[in-house]
Structure 1
């Protein structure tokens, strides 16, 4: 019988791509969603409500692997106190719900794989290259990711191999991080943000899905792994590359930092800060990134 992978957040940008990758690799996929959807030959849908802590337990009990992508979009709404709680709770409580089902039913998985983010190193600027051993940030982004990973670490206590994928900015065809940028750059109104010196570690969605597949197939993959290209891309170099793909050179000055802060509040840290990261650890497992050239990757992602 085919092995089954249960996805949380399976209807999102990464989840949709990952579903196809998993099916092509010979797995069946189960997806936890807030609303019931019609099953297909290879995809089975189940419902859950994280706030009410309810779940169709069959989804968990039938799983061989679980990939936990669920979590409120960190850049979707202003960071009010309530929104910060939603961001953290959506990650912690969803993992806790799955954990409680596994523990109650003494169910063993082949692996539990959780999304995380390079924001765990903190929303600061600096030239240091962050490895998985780098000190973790103590700001909102850093602490959120730490709580996210702590929720995943519970599964190790059940004797389940656990891996955590610390993701950079995800690029994909007309979706993901680029979705908000392309309309501005398409109309030749793009420019760098703030100083433009902040680093922007990025990864193509195909490579990210490849890392999740590696986490399933490689029994030696456990603990945290950075998932981003370390090519020293800054906001300025990223903006120039995106403009070049659209056939022009940036002519507008950088958007002043104070304007971004006025528009976004504390959430401005997402675009005004960035750190370099190393993905050597996942490469040492034998994983090879397919998309390593930013300009070529952007050409693939943008359908003019």
Structure 2
């Protein structure tokens, strides 16, 4: 049994991950801005504060915290919050771990496939490819650099570049599951997705199997926005309208943030499979049926 400290533990992935970790007899503590339960402890990035009790005897830190990419329009202030909520929080963790001389067995951080840039192409991206040059790529580069401070300080470090996380309640799937399902834009953009159970098991693998390095945390099933929408409609017995939501309308509604809806490339899952991860939900149809 290990003691694991999770940031972002009250979020969509954090809740499910905590549930599975506890089932596997691990001890879980959560850093929260507003702690409510006995396993939750206060932290405040703006004032560089972490309740030191949370870090006592910690074996692993899982860093999931970060302001949502898709909740609000990308104003200048929102962009800075998206970066700081990931980077400054990791910097704070690093400083406190050093200050308190915590000997971690591992630091595990979320990242995103936005690292490769947000555009549609025929290329299949692998972990050694260069980063993109748009806003999301900038976020991911800074996010990962902050996490890699731990590696440079001789702490085993794992980074999971995640795509769209599919869950039964909440998240992207709930927003896509409209009364009439239709593609967005021309529907040719790829959607890199992963079932929440597979994602959580990857984090657990980093704890239980000495699983270190940078990995694409996405399923090995390439789907375009159109093919994804068709399968979702069929799975939920809903009508599918082939004519997509016009790109111009999405740009008016969401501004620059619309790029995450209208663009998307394929990302390889081969590295994580070669490192002995066996997907429970490798095909979209199976994942959607499970989440119905």
TM bucket (normalised to shorter chain) is over 0.9
Name the counterpart of 1:228: 218
CA contact (8 A) 1:92 1:151 kept: yes
Q: TM-score, normalised by structure 1?
A: 0.93
Name the counterpart of 2:136: 141
CA contact (8 A) 1:108 1:158 kept: no
C-alpha separation in 2, matches of 1:31 and 1:134: 33
CA contact (8 A) 1:191 1:252 kept: yes
Aligned: 1:56 with 2:77: no
| Cα distance, 1:140 vs structure 2 | 0.2
Moved >2 Å (runs of 4+):
none
Name the counterpart of 1:16: 15
CA contact (8 A) 1:72 1:91 kept: yes
CA contact (8 A) 1:103 1:158 kept: no
Name the counterpart of 1:29: 28
Larger mean CA deviation between 281-290 and 244-253 belongs to 244-253
C-alpha separation in 1, matches of 2:277 and 2:236: 31
Name the counterpart of 1:68: 63
Name the counterpart of 2:281: 291
CA contact (8 A) 2:148 2:157 kept: yes
Name the counterpart of 2:150: 155
Name the counterpart of 2:208: 217
C-alpha separation in 2, matches of 1:149 and 1:292: 26
SS in 2 for 1:51: helix
CA contact (8 A) 1:61 1:102 kept: no
| Cα distance, 1:252 vs structure 2 | 5.0
**1:256-267 matches, cutoff 5 A:** 256-267=246-257
C-alpha separation in 2, matches of 1:32 and 1:273: 34
Structure 2 alignment gaps of length 5 or more? none
| Cα distance, 1:248 vs structure 2 | 4.1
SS in 1 for 2:122: strand
| Cα distance, 1:36 vs structure 2 | 2.2
Aligned: 1:173 with 2:192: no
C-alpha separation in 2, matches of 1:127 and 1:61: 48
C-alpha separation in 2, matches of 1:159 and 1:295: 41
Corresponding residue to 2:237 among 244, 247, 262: 247
C-alpha separation in 2, matches of 1:157 and 1:242: 43
| Cα distance, 1:103 vs structure 2 | 1.1
CA contact (8 A) 1:230 1:276 kept: no
**1:193-212 matches, cutoff 5 A:** 193-212=184-203
Q: TM-score, normalised by structure 2?
A: 0.97
SS in 2 for 1:145: helix
CA contact (8 A) 1:172 1:301 kept: yes
